[in-house]
């Protein structure tokens, strides 16, 4: 029986095929072992290793249950009134620090809240500004602000820096 020599191109492709097949087999074995380890590992176990900085040393502040913060993001409003006076007013209100989605909605709607407050006060007749009823204004503003909110409600308003300049 005569043995013919194998051309080098065929030998090279067999080597590449063998290397790729062994690499795929090793990856499948590693994947299977990792899956088995994840199933057997306890639920509360920490990470096996960390890359980069040690994040265990960095503790982020978290809101405690029931903590209340005051939203004063509207700033000081300068509202032109009908009788050519200017009303200077700051509006604030409490909200739950636990509700991150509501806090984001409040921050996103600052422009809308300013427009609502400006529209309300600038439309008041001159005699209503002289004999101002704070409770009525708070209730009406509260109603208008809450109509604009989707993720929560404002329960109370605080007015500060309430001045009318002629």
The CATH class of the 68-165 domain is alpha beta
Per-domain residue ranges of the chain: 7-43, 68-165
Q: Where are the alpha helices (DSSP H) in the chain?
A: 8-40, 100-108, 110-122, 126-130, 134-147
Which residues on adjacent β-strands are paired with residue 158? 92
- pLDDT tens column, 107-125: 999 999 999 999 998 888 7
Q: Are residues 159 and 138 in contact, defined by beta-carbon separation less than 8 angstroms?
A: yes
pTM over 0.75: no
Query: In the predicted model, what is the mean pLDDT of the chain?
Result: 83
């Amino acid at each position: 029986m005569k043995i013919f020599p194998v051309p080098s191109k065929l030998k090279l492709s067999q080597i590449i095929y063998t290397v790729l097949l062994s690499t795929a087999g090793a990856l499948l074995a590693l994947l299977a072992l990792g899956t088995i380890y994840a199933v057997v590992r306890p639920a509360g176990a920490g990470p096996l290793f960390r890359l980069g900085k040690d994040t265990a040393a960095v503790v982020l502040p978290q809101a405690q249950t029931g903590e209340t913060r005051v939203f004063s993001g509207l700033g000081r409003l300068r509202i032109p009134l009908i009788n050519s006076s200017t009303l200077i007013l700051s509006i604030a209100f409490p909200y739950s620090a636990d509700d991150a989605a509501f806090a984001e909605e409040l921050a996103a709607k600052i422009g809308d809240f300013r427009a609502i407050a400006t529209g309300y006060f600038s439309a008041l007749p001159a005699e209503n500004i002289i004999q101002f009823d704070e409770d009525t204004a708070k209730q009406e503003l509260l109603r208008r602000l809450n109509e604009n909110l989707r993720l929560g409600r404002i329960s109370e308003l605080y007015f500060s820096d309430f001045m009318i300049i002629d």
